[in-house]
Structure 1
Amino acid sequence: MKWKTASTLALLSAVSLIGSACSGGSGSGSGDSEEVKDASAKESKDPVELVFYSMSRDSEASFNERYGDAIRKKFPNYTIKYIQRAQGSDLPDLINAGTRIDIHWDSIGSFPSSNMVYELSYDMSDLIKKHKVDLSRFEPSLIDAMKQLGNGAIYGLPVYNERMALFYNKDLFDKLNVPYPQDGMTWTELDELAKKLNVEKDGVLYTGFSPSVNHLFLTNQYSLPLLDKSAMRPTITNEKWKQVLELQLLQPTQNPVYQKAMQANKGKILDLNQFAKDQSLAMFISSPLMPLVMKEELSKFNWDLVSEPTMPDAPGVGPQSYPGYFAITKMAKDKDAAMEVIKYLTSDEYQMECAKKGIMTSLKSEEIQKALGQESAFKGKNFGAFFYNKFPAIADKTVEESQVPILATYTKNLNKLSAGEMDINTMMRTADEEASKLLDGLKKK
């Protein structure tokens, strides 16, 4: 899937779509001792073939630019192959044909429905110990999330991370003579700021803030899951969801100018189009991928970013991460070789190269975090905003929520809610009923 729309859901997985290379240095893999480096080098001398696969539809050229060429440079005796997902080469097609996949990668949201549903999962715990990969180097919530998915097993390691921040149009703020947002703001403070930017001027409807509706749920600061894992029921009726919707959706949209702009947008909540293309929306939540995916659009105006606002009862807590994991499959022919590759992709050296180009690191190294975007087209922007607040736990994920469109039932009526055509209690109750029916149907299969 290539970037075709301004959907911010696509930005969550777009790291696998970006053609920017993280060519990396010649690092060892985890900053280990010289003895370990030497052992790694000896192992890499044996000829090995490794087959990669992702649920993205990346071209082979894109894969090579991001991963393949860097791996070949580091491991010259490894033959690196990539299978592009296409008609006839979807995951079930490959499995039914007996095609070997050595390393599979996916985002945390899709990982259960691909790696786990199709029984590719392999516990890498022993390999991690054998190859001396230091898990304490990673942002802890990313490792904890994988352990939650695997009930203690580690099916994959995070090679990249994603997190949201608040992007804002400095030109629009200057035009309307409004002070810029700051790191550390709360949602209440953001709302007060946004009100000053809801202005109809010279025939243009300028609006202050609009949420990314999928991120309301997927990266919420409360770490609320879409499903209650123990009861296997929807969580949408939880009062915390109500707080999220009221502060992040209803407060900014219940304004005459915003409502008028929404009507002009065919009754839909304003989104990335209005921010990056029309330049009529002053603030929008997105990830560090937006400057990479929408480089042309963002080059046309002056923008910057600050940390995503915090909830009043969760001070200093930022949004959840949305990482991507590389996993050795149970069918991998040479698991040690595959482990060495993943060790390299999570090395300080490789992660530093990626960070400089704008890919958010999965490591907790402050040095690497501070390097984010240093060699990108937008060097000098406040990319530290992505790390400003604490990382909360990543909400529990289940195979079931990836098999039926639970998120879609939660977002289905948000346009009506924002337009005042449905009250919040009705919206939550309707979503609960629809999600429950989907889960009941899944149980009968």
Structure 2
Amino acid sequence: MKIRTNPVKAAVAYGTPLLFLAMCTSACGGGGAPADQGAVPQTQQQPVTLTFFTEGNSVVLAEQIEQLVKEKFPHITLKTIKHGKGTTIEDTLNAGITPDLISYSLGGLWKVKELQLASDLTPFLQKYKFDQNRLANGVVDTVKSYSDKGEFLVMPFELNNNVLFYNKNIFNKFGVPFPKDGMTWEEVNELAKKVSRTDNGVQYKGFQYNGLNIVYKNQMGLTFVDPKTMKSTVNNDQWKKWMETMSSFYRISGNEVSGDEKDNFLKNQTLAMRTGPNFLTELPAAVEKGLDWDVVALPKFAGMESAGSQMNAPYYTIPPTSNNKDQSFQVIAFLLSDEVQTVMAKQGRIPIVKSEQVVQAFGSGLDVLKGKNLSAFFKDNIAKSIPPTKFDGIAKEGLTSIGLAQVNTGVKDVNTALREAEEQINIKIAEQNK
């Protein structure tokens, strides 16, 4: 990769936060983990090459991560394998390649565990005096819930908190007050009714959401699969209440399911409110086309205002077969240092650490976020983890595509959709167990 004349300015302009981070750490003397993180002095270090397998969020950042590590640790070279056709984690293992460090999305956690690619990081947390209290509230307990023995198998590196985005132009057009922090889904429903209108032949919709994302958030803390019976648990009164609430938006006149929520908000700009994966890097183009936007905290269910969301964060892990565990952990500790997290936060990545200084830096490097209600991103707190199972992914997908999607479009009623979703989930679980 060629370095531009002004790499920092170019990195910010083109939305590559880790490239900007690499340049900044170089210019600032390397940044890195604070002394209390137990970083080993880099003098007299033997050269080492770490095989780094990356899937999900980190694939597009692979080159930047390589440069970042090179600037901090001159003796460490990352040899990156990106997930893709012919280069899945299974392909990599079948080729006889042993990764030293893995970056994976949470949805693939059980695959990583079943392939025996995750090892307990506790000895390294202790050896390098990594302060777990630096991590956002709920992270440590959630990570330990992934292991029957309470091991620290993975290290999340950024949060995936959600907010409610809203189009100020639509609210102003119809003289309706903007959304506010602390709303319930029921209150959002009433607000959506007021802005689901037709004006000059244009149908404006009140609210849409990304179904799979909202299922993963699981704000009611409901189980998907019984960890004892390994049977689906999505057909009950609690899930019925959840689905009735979330599907009620699409029963609003004028707010029926139509088009993609992301396109409706960013491109068509006919959607008043939406939630789902954050798309901060795509906002500048939408703003140029006239979008006037802001955010408020992710709404919650009435009577459960103090509840949080299930953590859904990408993570690093070190396979037990690695011969370079110490160096791999030093890389992880560096990427979670306050210095690195601060620069990442400036570029719109929600930090995994709870340092006020880091949190306050969130979005400060992106002009499109200036003046926005950025504190809303940090009100989507992490809830107590539900008992996880290796079939949760099957259940989440089934609940979304078989259950929620059919209720939202009016194909099935809630009771029928949940019953059929559970039946199909159990069939797929049985097939997996063969």
Whether these two folds match at TM > 0.5 is yes
1:117–1:294 CA distance, 2 compared to 1 (3 A): farther
1:164-203 to 2 correspondence within 5 Å?
Answer: 164-203=162-201
- The 1-side partners of 2:219 and 2:57 are apart by 30
Secondary structure of the equivalent of 1:221? coil
Residue 282 of structure 1: how far off its partner (Å): 0.4
Residue 409 of structure 1: how far off its partner (Å): 4.5
- The 1-side partners of 2:223 and 2:287 are apart by 33
Residue 143 of structure 1: how far off its partner (Å): 2.1
1:390-401 to 2 correspondence within 5 Å?
Answer: 390-401=381-392
Answer yes or no: is the 8 Å Cα contact 1:320–1:391 preserved in 2: yes
Answer yes or no: is the 8 Å Cα contact 1:184–1:309 preserved in 2: yes
Residue identity matched to 1:307: A
Query: 1:32 and 2:36 equivalent?
Result: yes
Aligned twin of 1:125: 122
Count of residue pairs brought into register by the alignment: 410
1:23-422 to 2 correspondence within 5 Å?
Answer: 23=22, 25=25, 26-30=30-34, 32=36, 36-37=38-39, 39-42=40-43, 45-56=45-56, 62-65=61-64, 67-113=65-111, 115-151=112-148, 152-250=150-248, 252-259=249-256, 262=257, 265=258, 271-287=261-277, 289-293=278-282, 295-300=284-289, 301-380=291-370, 381-402=372-393, 404=394, 406-422=396-412
Residue 58 of structure 1: how far off its partner (Å): 6.5
Residue identity matched to 2:339: E
- The 2-side partners of 1:92 and 1:84 are apart by 12
1:323–1:168 CA distance, 2 compared to 1 (3 A): same
- The 2-side partners of 1:325 and 1:219 are apart by 17
Aligned twin of 1:15: none
1:68–1:395 CA distance, 2 compared to 1 (3 A): farther
Aligned twin of 1:427: 417
1:434–1:384 CA distance, 2 compared to 1 (3 A): same
Give the gaps of 5 or more residues in structure 2: 1-14
- The 2-side partners of 1:155 and 1:415 are apart by 34
- The 1-side partners of 2:127 and 2:395 are apart by 39
- The 2-side partners of 1:391 and 1:72 are apart by 33
Residue identity matched to 2:297: S
Residue 298 of structure 1: how far off its partner (Å): 4.6
- The 1-side partners of 2:327 and 2:69 are apart by 11
TM-score (norm 2): 0.88
Residue 430 of structure 1: how far off its partner (Å): 0.7
1:437–1:345 CA distance, 2 compared to 1 (3 A): same
Answer yes or no: is the 8 Å Cα contact 2:346–2:364 preserved in 1: yes
Aligned twin of 2:8: none
Residue 90 of structure 1: how far off its partner (Å): 1.5
Aligned twin of 2:432: 442
CA RMSD in angstroms comes to 2.2
- The 2-side partners of 1:244 and 1:313 are apart by 13
1:245–1:73 CA distance, 2 compared to 1 (3 A): same
Q: Deviations over 1:81-102 (max 9, x none)?
A: 1112233222111111211211
- The 2-side partners of 1:299 and 1:230 are apart by 53
Q: Deviations over 1:97-122 (max 9, x none)?
A: 21121110112222222x21221121
- The 2-side partners of 1:47 and 1:382 are apart by 46
Answer yes or no: is the 8 Å Cα contact 2:138–2:383 preserved in 1: yes
